[in-house]
Amino acid sequence: MREETALDERGFVERLRAGDPRAFEELVRSYQHRVFGVAARMLGNASEAEEVAQEVFLRVHRAVGEFRGEAKLSTWLYAITSRLCLARLAGSERRLGREGEEVLVRLANGHANPVAALERSELEAALHRAIAELPEDRRIVVVLRDLEGLSYEEIAEALELPVGTVRSRLHRGRLDLREKLERFLP
Amino acid sequence: MICHDARELFSALVDAALTTEERAVLDAHLAACPECRRELARFRGTVALLHAVAPSRAPVGFVDRVLAAARPAPWYERLWGRLSQPLAWKLPIEATVVALVAVTAVYLYERTPELRQAARLEAPVSPAPEGSRADVPGRPAEPPPAAAPGPAPSARSQLSRDVAASPPPGSRSSQYGFRDAPAKEEAGDTREAEHRAPEPGAVTGALRAESPAPPAKAAEAEAPAAAAPPALKSEAATRPADATEEQAKRALARPSPGRLAGLASAPADVSGRLAVTDRAAAERALGALLARLGATEVARRAETGGLVVELVVAGSAYPALVEGLARIGQWEPDRVAAELPAQVRVSLRITD
């Protein structure tokens, strides 16, 4: 699970709503990797992922006055990101090609040990491919839970779904991945 | 608990999201089921692989690009946007308005008979016979002067004498140059039918023949009834073989184009209203009736509430015309001349 950057969220939100440009810059710097990561794993394309990620922050910039603070700021960001990604994917046939896999592997951190790096690279490529092949409704839940570390309740709030549906889709997605990654399992 | 139900709880177990009761039941099953224990191990391994995926990082310069996009535009860009925006809206709106006006104009023209008639009246028409006062088809005109081709009543008897003495029809057709309009077209053309003035050459020829001695020449011009327009000729050809002698006489009695021009300007001998339920069908039936009787339509115009058709029919065919009109609709004559001439001018007002 990831560690979230520590922010005095309530005061931070107030600064954002007041239009403080430095607050907006802090927001972008703090959440750029997470927002971009969700978009990249959902869309499988770095340039599209950047486009969507930029749109997420611009929408936050325009609509921060409407954010009431009832949910966490991160949940709100994930909600906008998920919505934009699913909207892009709707109606289009998308499969992560070799190029997409390589892009996602390059996006990850490098490793000092070349052999381990190669093995790790092969595993990550297989992981990225397996995630990309999931149905979109299961993919977004797996990405938010297993890659971004959101709780069931946060995912349900971001995707506007019942918790039971989140639990079911997550389980189905993980079962699909288990079959695809069989050879990598002990 | 069966294995299927137990495996449905694996995700919640891995995420520590089971209730106390669910955990107890699952633990009891796992203790007794080695296969489920192996499956759980694979499941945990999959989730562990996912959790170990290295996080993605946004591309270099991403923050700067987002901040630049979020920055408000300079005042000159905002001003240009306000100035150009009307153009972006104005041009499509103006184009749409122009297109709408054009479509509306065409629609109104097609739907308004008065407009179409006005357009036709403004277009150059065949010149009326010299001396004729009838500039507009169908309108009653002043009595034509003596030189006009309209025969004086005194010439009617001369006409009937000359009919018998007239040369064969064929020799006259070229002199008058009748128009080549088929009977069917004349009968059924409810939109285009207007006063069919004879061609200038024909009129001039007729007048040349008539000018020295109008009554005689007029009679001569009227003689070749069988040299009537090819429309009537073709109609005669298509008439059933058992055409009666009565119809043949009517064909012979048809006025010449020059005579028609004069009749067009004369006031109607008979006028009345023909009330119908289906105007289009009535016009078709009228056209067929006129063709059968050898009558000739000389004018047609639309008026408020109805259509006015002016025709010329032989006096001998007038009773059959009345009978035919009664079959088409309700014929209500409002004026009938005391003495009908050889060529009766009838003005019908067809109303719904």
Residues of chain A in Cβ contact (below 8 Å) with chain B: 1-2, 24-25, 28-29, 32-33, 35-37, 40-41, 46, 50, 53-54, 57-58, 61, 104, 107-109, 123-124, 127, 142, 145-147, 152, 167, 170-171, 174-175, 177-178, 181-182, 184-186
Among B119, B148, B155, CA closest to B265: B148
How confident is the model over A121-144, as a mean pLDDT? Answer: 91
Question: Looking at beta carbons, which residues of chain B come within 8 Å of A108?
Answer: 53-57
Instruction: Give the tens place of pLDDT for each residue, A29-54.
Output: 999 999 999 999 999 889 999 999 99
Distance, in angstroms, between A32 CA and closest chain B CA? 6
Q: Could you give the angle at which helices A114-132 and A163-180 cross, rounded to 10 degrees?
A: 130
Size of interface A-B (CB pairs under 8 A): 106
Across the interface, whether the CB atoms of B49 and A127 are under 8 A apart is answered: yes
ipTM above threshold 0.85:
no
Give backbone dihedrals phi and psi of A19, rounded to 5 degrees, phi first. Answer: 85, 20
How confident is the model over B265-286, as a mean pLDDT? Answer: 88
Confidence of residue B6 (pLDDT cuts 50, 70, 90): very high
Q: What is the pLDDT of residue B194?
A: 45
Across the interface, whether the CB atoms of A54 and B46 are under 8 A apart is answered: no
CA B232/CA B238 separation, integer angstroms: 10
Out of A28, A61, A147, closest to residue B50 by CB: A147
pLDDT of residue B229 exceeding 60 = no
Instruction: Give the tens place of pLDDT for each residue, B162-175.
Output: 444 444 444 444 44
Sole residue written with tokens 């001003």: B79
Beta-carbon contacts of residue B327 (< 8 Å; ≥ 6 apart): B285
User: Rounded to whole angstroms, what are the CA distances from B324 to A60, A79, B320?
Assistant: 85, 84, 6
CB of A54 closer than 8 Å to CB of B65: yes
Per mean pLDDT, which range of B193-197, B296-300, B313-317 is the poorest? B193-197
Half-sphere exposure of B23 (CA within 13 A, CB side): 9
- Average pLDDT over chain B reads 72
The three state secondary structure string of chain B is: CCHHHHHCCHHHHHCCCCCHHHHHHHHHHHHHCHHHHHHHHHHHHHHHHHHCCCCCCCCCCHHHHHHHHHCCCCHHHHHHHHHHHHHHHHHHHHHHHHHHHHHHHHHHHHHCHHHHHHHHHHCCCCCCCCCCCCCCCCCCCCCCCCCCCCCCCHHHHHHHHHHHHCCCCHHHHHHHCCCCCCHHHHHHCCCCCCCCCCCHHHHHHHHHHHCCCHHHHHHHHHCCHHHCCHHHHHHHHHCCCCCCHHHHHHHHCCCCHHHHHHHHHCCCCEEEEEECCCHHHHHHHHHHHHHHHCCEEEEEEEECCEEEEEEEEEHHHHHHHHHHHHHHCEEEEEEECCCCCCEEEEEEEEEC
User: Could you tell me the pTM of the whole model?
Assistant: 0.48
User: Residue A95 corresponds to which tokens in the numbers above?
Assistant: 């499969």
Q: Which residue has the higher pLDDT, A72 or B163?
A: A72
Q: What is the pLDDT of residue B187?
A: 44
CA A35/CA A77 separation, integer angstroms: 7
Question: Looking at beta carbons, which residues of chain A come within 8 Å of B56?
Answer: 33, 36-37, 40-41, 104, 107-108
Confidence of residue B233 (pLDDT cuts 50, 70, 90): very low
CB of B112 closer than 8 Å to CB of B104: no
Instruction: Give the tens place of pLDDT for each residue, B9-42.
Output: 999 999 998 999 999 999 999 999 999 999 999 9
How confident is the model over A146-165, as a mean pLDDT? Answer: 95
Out of B10, B11, B63, closest to residue A32 by CB: B63
pLDDT of residue A81 exceeding 70 = yes
Across the interface, whether the CB atoms of A177 and B62 are under 8 A apart is answered: no
